[in-house]
Structure 1
Amino acid sequence: MKNFSTKCGLAILSTLVVSSLHAAVVPDTQKNSSWFNEGQAAIQKQLALTPKNKAKNVILFVGDGLGVSTITAGRIFAGQKLGGTGEEHKLSFDMMPYSAQVKTYNTNQQTPDSAGTMTAMMAGVKTKAGVINIAPDAERGNCESSLGYELTTALELAEAKGLSTGVVSTARITHATPAATYAKVPERNWESDDNLPEEAVAAGCKDIASQLIELEAGDGIDVALGGGRRHFLPEDSVDSEGKNGKRKDGRDLTAEWLARYQGEAASYIETQTEFDALDIAATSKVLGLFNSSHMEYEADRQNDIGGEPSLSEMTDKAIELLKKNDNGYFLMVESGRIDHAHHAGNAYRALRDTEEFAKAVQAAVDSTNPDETLILVTADHSHVFTIAGYPQRGNPILGVVKSTDANGAPLDEPSLAADGMPYTTVGYANGLGFADYGQGNGGDQRYGDSGSNGRVDLTIVDTTQSGFHQEALVPLGSETHAGEDVAVLAQGPGAQWLQGVIEQNVIFHVINQAAELGGEKYQ
């Protein structure tokens, strides 16, 4: 673990940090972090490569769990849907001119989680797994130990500079990745007060949802679109889809948000109809919570009771509202459910959400000026998702492997494993798809009979259907993240500084330098 070099009395330090956060400046504890300083040194080195070119706007796209294997499979999946072989297809962000390889580990874990990784991107400091915008000196889940170690985010710096800001996610807006744009908690599960321990309340820690509503930097977030309605509503209330809230303090944060922005043309919306009817010209603030928990997978979105906008629709609407500010804007867009589909061992839904993620990136490219808007596309971490088996060119990416003969010609019959049964091109190193875990697919006999060793015979199974769960090597209740590097691809002012292999916290410094947010002046 890398420790902060300067340590002050917690009471004094906490007072200093709180006062500094009101002005959205980077506190000394953050500047004194070795992670912060090394990230700063890395961007200073990159600055020498090309002349500085200020970005008026910054859009950070995060595909949660979008590892390189998911990008590859998603590219093939999208291309095959269009009638091609797939391998030659290009996703929107494949065509961006600059890229780098990003190291994702947390300070205490070789394979990371989203709280620590997104903190690195938003605050320039690596930290522990499960901790959001709190320096690694603090203990996870310990409120008192976190006081004085709060970090300032790029969104807060943008707000303090007069930029508009937005957060869009298909996950709960209080989930780790979107929360890391605005919240500071030593435990990512403190999404509302129902999970906040008494000692944390007594020590002064606040839940994530309330921090969104009460954000003091600038005039607060201008656009917040996603799921997680339950964390904003009291437990005795029922939302538009018949779901109860979770808050035990009786607060209706949606009402508080509207009250805060009275007279500023603020809107709170819950449905597709309300989203479509939104008058951007007459609106300055929007809070949209489209599901009690996470929003639906793209494959299931049309089944939502109240209707949900797609990620590309939310991205387009957010940009339309934010660009009204002549000072510019900062927007973070997360495709949160790529990660959830992988955890479930369901490649189809992961790839459908990847396809929609690429459409959201294209929507941003189409509606912005590349000379003044920095667009970055990256992931917080990868997954143990593999593409293997020597399938022939154009073989369905979700299908069983059909290889080539000795002369390189395609074969019609599936390749067989040592147990005499077919196997799929994509699979997982661990998770629910292990043969002894319900025969890999919840024990549903539609998926075939198991062989003598417990594997499922896929001969009569349609492995390309949305409900199929790929096989896994190691039995776990949920597939895990992976620890390998991810990619960052970019275009616009500052994109040229993303080259080579970088630590994840360098992404903050690229954003800060490109938009001159004021977190630190490097030249």
Structure 2
Amino acid sequence: MRKLSWAGPLAASVLLWSAASPADAREHARSLILIIGGPPADADVRAASAATAAMMTGVKIAPWMIGVTGLSQGQCAPSPAHKLATLIEQAKDAGRAAGVATTDRITRPLAAAAYAHVSDTDWEVDTRMPAEALTSGCQDIARQLILFDHHGGLDVALGGGRLAFLRSEQVDPDQRERHGVRGDGDDLIVRWGRRNPLGHYVWTATELTKAASGSPGYLLGLFAPDAMTQDGSEANAGQPSLADMTRVAISVLGKSPKGYVLVVASEGEAERDAAAAAAKVADNRTLVVVATIRGPDVIDTDAYGPGAAQAKRSLDPVALHAILCGALGLPGAP
């Protein structure tokens, strides 16, 4: 049995203490499941975006951007000099697998902060970007998801927002009255398939379950044309719950010999079910952190693992980033 505690000052590393080890032994977590709970619908979404971006990179930036610094809103500067490495990118560079799951559009800030770099969070799709940004080489968030490459692509990406990946003349497979919103003529789902010939693309809960039972090298799931519906209505028929997506993501990512990082994002209270699902299937080298955003500078955290004592604390998002990096043995730890 392992006891987990937040030790030392805010920027200290998470310690996983083993009862079978000496009292001064320290070891890194093999994997991390970070479950981010966003604000209620009437709260400041920009503040949540800023907190998530800082949590992912360890740097506080303006609330209208993610993964970049030193730019004004809408400024296009594709140079790597302005990009901030995210927790998921660091994990992939260290040889771990990585994934993202959300009930919102997967291009929205709470999920996109894990993998994207834009100076305007409205750049979810190319048709929301100014022409000069496109001609200067900047990419929309949907395209960045598909072209993500840090020792390979994202191993798992699950959420809503399918229309941002389809051409304007393409009909949505579920809601036939709706069409894709891309203006560049590129079917990003097809492009993803070409980049990942051994991967699986799914768009229903049934397909997701079948993919999990196999051996998908990479897994992309887009379950709704816009944000997913989690209210039990007919509109969400065929859509998996956040807990379902969490379980499948852990099943797929858990096959990585070096561990993984999974970011789960929810704007509501579905993170509680996701945390319960994670606690049931995660192994004893996996750190599970539930981070509930209270404002741009305050995150309430619950950190635990199977058989571990809970550790509740309110943290600054930059401090939380340092703690998570320390827990995984990644750059960015104090």
Question: So what's the TM-score if we normalise by structure 1?
Answer: 0.56
* Identity level (%): 32
Once residues 62 and 207 of structure 1 are traced to their aligned partners in structure 2, the CA distance between those partners, rounded to angstroms, is 23
Matched with 1:258 is 193
Identify if the C-alpha distance between structure 1 residues 112 and 496 changes in structure 2 by more than 3 Å, giving closer, same or farther: farther
User: Does 119-128 or 144-153 show the bigger shift?
Assistant: 144-153
Once residues 114 and 232 of structure 1 are traced to their aligned partners in structure 2, the CA distance between those partners, rounded to angstroms, is 25
Matched with 2:58 is 124
What is the one-letter code of the residue matched to 2:281? S
* Matched positions, count: 315
1:244 maps to 2:179: yes
Aligned residue for 2:35, secondary structure, equals strand
Matched with 2:98 is 165
Contact 2:74–2:120 under 8 Å retained in 1: yes
Once residues 200 and 79 of structure 2 are traced to their aligned partners in structure 1, the CA distance between those partners, rounded to angstroms, is 34
Larger Rg: 1
What is the one-letter code of the residue matched to 1:376? V
Q: How does 1:98-497 map to 2 (within 5 A)?
A: 112-135=46-69, 137-144=70-77, 148-241=81-174, 242=176, 243-262=178-197, 264=198, 266-300=199-233, 302-304=234-236, 307-336=238-267, 338=268, 354=269, 356-370=270-284, 372-381=285-294, 485-492=298-305
Q: State the shift of 1:60 in Å.
A: 0.2
Q: State the shift of 1:521 in Å.
A: 5.8
Q: State the shift of 1:259 in Å.
A: 0.4
Question: So what's the TM-score if we normalise by structure 2?
Answer: 0.86
Identify if the C-alpha distance between structure 1 residues 316 and 373 changes in structure 2 by more than 3 Å, giving closer, same or farther: same
Identify if the C-alpha distance between structure 1 residues 505 and 197 changes in structure 2 by more than 3 Å, giving closer, same or farther: same
Once residues 159 and 113 of structure 2 are traced to their aligned partners in structure 1, the CA distance between those partners, rounded to angstroms, is 14
Displacement over 6 Å in runs of 4+: 495-499
Once residues 177 and 125 of structure 1 are traced to their aligned partners in structure 2, the CA distance between those partners, rounded to angstroms, is 16
Contact 2:56–2:113 under 8 Å retained in 1: yes
Identify if the C-alpha distance between structure 1 residues 324 and 145 changes in structure 2 by more than 3 Å, giving closer, same or farther: closer
Contact 2:230–2:241 under 8 Å retained in 1: no
* 1:21-67 per-position Cα deviation (integer Å, ceiling 9, x unaligned): xxxxxxxxxxxxxxxxxxxx9524888x9753210010000111169
Aligned residue for 1:369, secondary structure, equals coil
Q: State the shift of 1:112 in Å.
A: 4.7
Contact 1:173–1:227 under 8 Å retained in 2: yes
Contact 2:46–2:64 under 8 Å retained in 1: no
Aligned residue for 2:249, secondary structure, equals helix
Once residues 282 and 111 of structure 1 are traced to their aligned partners in structure 2, the CA distance between those partners, rounded to angstroms, is 37
Instruction: Flag structure 1 segments of 5+ consecutive residues without an equivalent.
Output: 1-40, 71-109, 339-353, 383-482
Once residues 274 and 497 of structure 1 are traced to their aligned partners in structure 2, the CA distance between those partners, rounded to angstroms, is 35
Q: State the shift of 1:498 in Å.
A: 7.1
Instruction: Flag structure 2 segments of 5+ consecutive residues without an equivalent.
Output: 1-8, 18-23
Aligned residue for 1:200, secondary structure, equals helix
* 1:387-436 per-position Cα deviation (integer Å, ceiling 9, x unaligned): xxxxxxxxxxxxxxxxxxxxxxxxxxxxxxxxxxxxxxxxxxxxxxxxxx
What is the one-letter code of the residue matched to 1:122? M
What is the one-letter code of the residue matched to 2:11? I
Aligned residue for 2:152, secondary structure, equals coil
User: What is the root-mean-square deviation of aligned Cα atoms in Å?
Assistant: 2.8
Aligned residue for 2:53, secondary structure, equals helix
What is the one-letter code of the residue matched to 1:320? S
Once residues 239 and 14 of structure 2 are traced to their aligned partners in structure 1, the CA distance between those partners, rounded to angstroms, is 41
Identify if the C-alpha distance between structure 1 residues 496 and 124 changes in structure 2 by more than 3 Å, giving closer, same or farther: farther
Once residues 498 and 143 of structure 1 are traced to their aligned partners in structure 2, the CA distance between those partners, rounded to angstroms, is 41
Aligned residue for 1:309, secondary structure, equals coil
What is the one-letter code of the residue matched to 1:374? L
Matched with 2:327 is 514
Identify if the C-alpha distance between structure 1 residues 223 and 334 changes in structure 2 by more than 3 Å, giving closer, same or farther: same
Q: State the shift of 1:303 in Å.
A: 3.1
User: Does 218-227 or 270-279 show the bigger shift?
Assistant: 270-279
